[in-house]
Amino acid sequence: MKDRIRKATRHVNQNEGLIFEKSSSGKAAWKLPPLDVPEVDASRLLGSSERKDLGSMPEVSEIEIIRHFTRLSTWNYAIDLGMYPLGSCTMKYNPRVNEAVARVEGIANGHPYQPEKISQGALNILKKLSECLIEITGMDAITMQPAAGAHGEMTGLLMVRAYHQSQGNARKKILIPDSAHGTNPATAAMVNYAVENLKSDARGMVDIGALEAQMSEDVAALMLTNPNTLGVFEQDIHKIADILHAKGGLLYMDGANMNALVGKVRPGDFGVDVMHLNLHKTFSTPHGGGGPGSGPVAIKKILEPFLPTPVVVTKSDGTLGFDYNRPHSVGRVRAFYGNFGMFVRALAYIQANGPDGLRQTTEDAVLNANYIRKGLEGAYDLPYSTATMHEVVFSDKLQAKKGVRTMDIAKRLIDYGFHPYTTAFPLIVPGALMIEPTESESKEEMDLFIDAMKSIAEEVEEDPQTVLDAPHSTRVSRLDETAAARKPVLRWKPPV
Amino acid sequence: MRYLPKSPADREAMLKAIGLGSVDELFAPIPAEYRLSRDLKVPRQMAESEIVDYFRQRSRENGEGYTSFLGAGAYAHYRPVIIDSLISRGEFLTAYTPYQAEISQGTLQSIFEFQTMICELTGMEVANASMYDGSTAAAEAVMMAVRLTGRRSVVVARSLHPEYREVLATYATHQGMPLSVAGFGDDGRLNLKELGKSITLETACVLIQSPNFFGTIEDVAAVAAVAHKHGAMLVVSIAEAVSLGIVEPPREADVIAMEAQSFGVPLGFGGPYCGVIATREKYVRQMPGRLVGQTVDKQGRRGFVLTLATREQHIRREKATSNICTNQALVALMVNIFMTVYGKVGLKELAKQNLAKAAYAATQFAKQGKVLFAGAPRFNEFVVQTSEDPHAINSRLLRHKIVGGLPLNKFYPELGNAALWCCTELTTRNSTDTALRLVADHDGSAPSAKEEAGVEEVAR
């Protein structure tokens, strides 16, 4: 079996316990300068509010901390190690210059309340990135405040609600296709809209007939991901927008898949009224093991009065400042101005690409997905034959006959040196394998991936147990998630 | 384009393998009338050296080299060098959410340690993997209390960070959650009489901050007694995490919503920061956000997984506890490393230095103007009331590259000419003395027209 695996080999990695297990009294990794003001008596200043003891906080030295976290890091897979084809999550290369410029002193250490006069650098970055994103999406205005995509969805729907309210009727529900991300219905609920499911047709697109039947003056908006989670561009997008607009509804676009469109087509041109972007997807800011994200919301003119406060404006003297006086605003969705450090990285990414680079990036992302689709057709079932954009969704139908499901194939892929694809999503494909290579993969890496997937398909026929027991090469084997949830152990406790 | 690993020949070969003649055919599904036939109007492709130059220039326009006395929810503390060394490792920086536990044990174990230390510091039993920031964590904690009590109204302390209050108001708008505000007394603490009047049997929770926006430490036990007597929960927001080194945590709270930025996260003009929610074990199933739990693999070895996912949007969709998906994992790792570096003894000593620096400054300021809220203990912030408009004072300080305290008239007009000053372990005695001298120097020279304009610029 071993000679099938071309990308990865086993290698030694270090064992490492919890940091608390290394702690002992008197070790330290810190040193404070001598105090240049009089010492204070904490119990006199704080009285009963004084804290006496910090419990089981660790005491360790610097070298132990370095080794601890370095050892832990080697147990992670990462985009820096290889292809990370996690569909819909868009794991692309995170350029290092982004990290360097985010750490330049005035940018890293600017206080959010420092006077505008000495914040022109940050304001300039905010404005410049806003302008780029407005141009890329073809929209009219933007808020950078939301901290992640789901937070952007909430902000977008708050503006949708405020708009309808200003028209005299807030309306009752949001239409959401059955292929949507889970955040969409969860967000609608937070903004107190009812969710109505919209069926997909045989092509994997919005069923136009169903949309016409379900559209009414109770519908505030349709939340549409385009390309959708099957990686399919909604070809009837103009009809969709018309149907909504005819009854006064708005078209919300979940921009999670904007990396399939940048430089090729603009949502603002095909009828979208409001959309969020994920800077940690399309614009290369790092995922960091689950965040920070950033979810700017771009809108058409009609929604502009409702933008969260503050917004960046050019003042009469030509300097930049914040405008807080916006009586129709939906309010604030986060303290300060958003995940500014992510704006710095996204802008550096746009500058490194330019218009030609952004377009080439999109083309390569779509080319890569189609190359994988072609390479795996036949070995895996393709439930929708509609043209693929940036990601392709197969199913485990062929492998399920041998009792092997999408999660098993995903776990076996780990032994081949790859991170798994997204499993069991979108929900409209039973046993989905959702593969998104992004533009960051070379032909060589993708050939290795295709070989690995084909090899696993053969293993399923010859020796399904090997696949069912995978992964075989990791530090730990499959973990007991049921036990973890039944009797949660959510923190370390000192031994008694 | 230097990030794209393909030669023109590779692209040709791939198109051929797919059976296409040109890349345009890949975009045929997009209706022709919408396809973009021009370049995007964004900056031209820049060399790395040009990008670095651009941001260095912006940095020079952004308060580089200024001494600052600003706090108010964003604190300047020293960041040990190893934080950036460690979080820059690609295995942390460029990994996704740890859904595939077998190849994510590094992230998972570090979150487990983070959850443990947050519990230790807050006195709570469980903590989540992070929220966006302190403001949204507070709003989510309130919504959690609403679900847990089945009640809907909320009493909010006026001494809670004003922008946190604004965020809560936005979140509450469409949830049918009436908010009422309880003011503060002469000691800067929540006015318990006002609380008594606002709280009813419909109140889901009372939300306070401690140390509060003025730096004053609340009498949490007294507030908890009032809340609990009415069957309401107590949610406590902590914006200055370093306080936990020397200030007793709000153990009487039912939910703690924290901003951990002080623990090794750069100020970064307001973000990304690191929110956290901590609570009692019995409330965990109504807690939003990700959680890491300990378990075993098939061979019985210890390992960690994301757990209790049935609370979350990707499983429960519109019935989830929150729509939160991506959180602040990398920032939580900074916080984790910071807590590990300072640990049991260092955090206390660090907090003590903050206490001493602020106590010194407040004592000195009291000689010049009025330091408000002297009747209750404070941590590293204090409110100074002056006869002169604090914007004018700050304008004067700014010419000496000093950023004075935050003028409070926008948020608390009732305090008149007041400003919120903050000192941390990084504030030198010398800079405090210099600032104080400039504050006092209001008749040093008559304000010129230029200075008047300066006042306006500083006004926020």
Statement to judge: residues A334 and A201 lie in one domain: yes
Query: B184: alpha, beta or left, given left = phi > 0 and alpha = psi -120 to 50?
Result: beta
pLDDT tens column, A39-72: 999 999 999 999 999 999 999 999 999 999 999 9
Check B246 against A42: CB less than 8 A apart.
Answer: yes
- Which of A75, A108, A128 is where one domain is finished? A75
Q: How far is CA A282 from the centre of its chain?
A: 9
Question: Could you say which of A102, A136, A188 has the minimum Cβ distance to residue B40?
Answer: A136
A71, amino acid identity: R
Question: Could you say which of B93, B97, B344 has the minimum Cβ distance to residue A58?
Answer: B344
Map out the domains of chain B as residue ranges. 67-79+343-440, 81-337
| Domain B67-79+343-440 part of CATH 3.40.430.10 | no
For residue B314, give the 3-state DSSP assignment: helix
Q: Using CA atoms, how far apart are residues A437 and A435, in angstroms rounded to an integer? A: 6
**CB-based burial of residue A239 (10 Å sphere; 0-12 exposed, 13-18 middle, 19+ buried)?**
middle
B206, amino acid identity: V
Closest approach of A200 to chain B, Cα-based (Å): 17
Check A93 against B244: CB less than 8 A apart.
Answer: no
pLDDT tens column, A436-482: 999 999 999 999 999 999 999 999 999 999 999 999 999 999 999 99
Check B40 against A330: CB less than 8 A apart.
Answer: no
Statement to judge: residues A370 and A346 lie in one domain: no
Q: Using CA atoms, how far apart are residues B78 and B426, in angstroms rounded to an integer? A: 7
> Looking at the DSSP assignment, which residues form a beta bridge with residue A30?
none
Check B170 against A19: CB less than 8 A apart.
Answer: no
Check A73 against B284: CB less than 8 A apart.
Answer: no
Check A57 against B19: CB less than 8 A apart.
Answer: no
A493 falls within a domain: no
Query: Which option is the CATH number for B81-337: 3.20.20.370, 3.10.400.10, 3.40.640.10, 3.40.50.620?
Result: 3.40.640.10
Instruction: Give the pLDDT of residue B449.
Output: 38
A282 falls within a domain: yes
Q: Using CA atoms, how far apart are residues B332 and A144, in angstroms rounded to an integer? A: 22
Statement to judge: residues A235 and A340 lie in one domain: yes
What's the full length of chain B, in residues? 460
Tell me how many domains chain A contains.
Answer: 3
Residues of B in contact with A188 (CB under 8 A): 318
* Pairing mode, strands B179-182 and B203-209: unpaired
Residue pair B121/B343 in contact (Cβ under 8 Å)? The answer is no
Statement to judge: residues A436 and A335 lie in one domain: no
Statement to judge: residues A277 and A137 lie in one domain: yes
CATH at residue A212: 3.40.640.10
Q: What is the ipTM of this complex?
A: 0.97
Mutate to test the interface with B, among A59, A349, A351 (most CBs of B within 10 A): A351
Closest approach of A462 to chain B, Cα-based (Å): 24
Statement to judge: residues A5 and A125 lie in one domain: no
pTM more than 0.90: yes
Q: Measure the CA angle with vertex B382, ends B379 and B384; round to 5°.
A: 170
pLDDT tens column, A315-342: 999 999 999 999 999 999 999 999 999 9
Mutate to test the interface with B, among A123, A315, A334 (most CBs of B within 10 A): A334
**Tens-level pLDDT at each residue, chain B (460 residues):** 999 999 999 999 999 999 999 999 999 999 999 999 999 999 999 999 999 999 999 999 999 999 999 999 999 999 999 999 999 999 999 999 999 999 999 999 999 999 999 999 999 999 999 999 999 999 999 999 999 999 999 999 999 999 999 999 999 988 889 999 999 999 999 999 999 999 999 999 999 999 999 999 999 999 999 999 999 999 999 999 999 999 999 999 999 999 999 999 999 999 999 999 999 999 999 999 999 999 999 999 999 999 998 888 887 888 888 888 888 999 999 999 999 999 999 999 999 999 999 999 999 999 988 999 999 999 999 999 999 999 999 999 999 999 999 999 999 999 999 999 999 999 999 999 999 999 998 765 434 434 444 444 444 4
Statement to judge: residues A284 and A376 lie in one domain: no
Nearest CA in chain B to A92: B94
Residues of B in contact with A410 (CB under 8 A): 100
CA-to-CA dists, residue B198 to A325, A431, B157, B159, angstroms: 29, 53, 11, 15
Closest approach of B31 to chain A, Cα-based (Å): 7
B82 touching chain A per CB within 8 A: yes
A137, amino acid identity: T
Nearest CA in chain B to A285: B94
Question: Could you say which of A75, A95, A192 has the minimum Cβ distance to residue B3?
Answer: A95
Q: Which two tokens stand for residue A54?
A: 């910090």
Check A106 against B57: CB less than 8 A apart.
Answer: no
CA-to-CA dists, residue A225 to A215, A232, A251, A272, B327, angstroms: 18, 10, 10, 11, 21
Question: Could you say which of B45, B337, B429 has the minimum Cβ distance to residue A352?
Answer: B45
A83 falls within a domain: no
- Which of A328, A350, A372 is where one domain is finished? A350
Instruction: Give the pLDDT of residue B452.
Output: 42
Statement to judge: residues A291 and A174 lie in one domain: yes
A492 falls within a domain: no
Residues of A in contact with B41 (CB under 8 A): 135, 355
Check A111 against B74: CB less than 8 A apart.
Answer: yes
Identify the CA nearest to B112 among candidates B326, B264, B340, B347. B340
A431 falls within a domain: yes
A62 falls within a domain: yes
Statement to judge: residues A49 and A154 lie in one domain: no
List of chain A residues with pLDDT < 50:
none
Percent helix / strand / coil, chain A, rounded to 5? 40, 10, 50
Statement to judge: residues A413 and A299 lie in one domain: no
Residue pair A180/A225 in contact (Cβ under 8 Å)? The answer is yes
Domain that holds residue A303: 97-350
Identify the CA nearest to A150 among candidates B228, B183, B290. B290
Instruction: Give the pLDDT of residue A424.
Output: 85
Statement to judge: residues A379 and A338 lie in one domain: no
First to last CA, chain B: 42
Mutate to test the interface with B, among A107, A262, A487 (most CBs of B within 10 A): A107
Residues of A in contact with B377 (CB under 8 A): 45-47, 49
Statement to judge: residues A266 and A239 lie in one domain: yes
Residues of A in contact with B58 (CB under 8 A): 104, 106-107, 121-122, 124-125
Question: Could you say which of A39, A93, A264 has the minimum Cβ distance to residue B27?
Answer: A264
Q: Using CA atoms, how far apart are residues A75 and B105, in angstroms rounded to an integer? A: 6
CATH at residue A405: 3.90.1150.10
Instruction: Give the pLDDT of residue B450.
Output: 42
For residue B68, give the 3-state DSSP assignment: strand
